[in-house]
Amino acid sequence: MRISSRFTIAIHIFACIDTFGDTCKVTSDFLAGSTNVNPVIIRKILGQLKKAGLIEVARGTGGTTVAKPLGEISFLDVYHAVECVGKGDLFHFHENPNTNCPVGRNIHHILDDRLLQVQNAMEEELASITLADLKKDTEKYLDENNL
């Protein structure tokens, strides 16, 4: 199982907006340069973040800003904005287990609650981390490494 890179790209985008937003316009081309990702993908993610109310994007070369204080945006908010995973849908179940097999016939009953438990635990952890935490960690790392 693997969560797509959209989540980490979105977190990277927020770090760039916060780090560079006061000194330059943070555009999709600027973000593409920092993430080393195609600008089309960046624009798609920006669109998802905008739709979720997490960022504001000025048309043209206006740049991108964060829509609310960093302490009010959790990693879970970002995750929900860019990942197409609904409640209980993190794990994709194989389509047609063999109903003639006692395991295949009952595997959903055996696993569904456990997999939901794992997803809920992950989401609780994501909810406990905010973009303000990311900012603090970024500043600490930059200071410690004289960057």
Q: What is the CATH number of the domain that holds 83?
A: 1.10.10.10
Strands (E), 1-147: 55-58, 63-66
Sign of torsion over alpha carbons 36, 41, 42, 45:
negative
What pLDDT shows up at residue 87? 62
Q: 3-class SS at 42?
A: helix
Domain coverage including residue 66: 6-144
The pLDDT tens digits of the residues spanning 65-117 come to 999 999 999 999 999 999 877 665 788 778 889 999 999 999 988 998 998 89
Q: Which two tokens stand for residue 40?
A: 């089309």
* pTM as predicted: 0.86
Residue 42 in any domain: the answer is yes
Residue 81 in any domain: the answer is yes
Domains of the chain: total? 1
Residue 46 in any domain: the answer is yes
Give the CA distances from residue 64 to residues 68, 87, 118, in Å, rounded to whole numbers and listed in that order.
12, 29, 34
Residue 1 in any domain: the answer is no
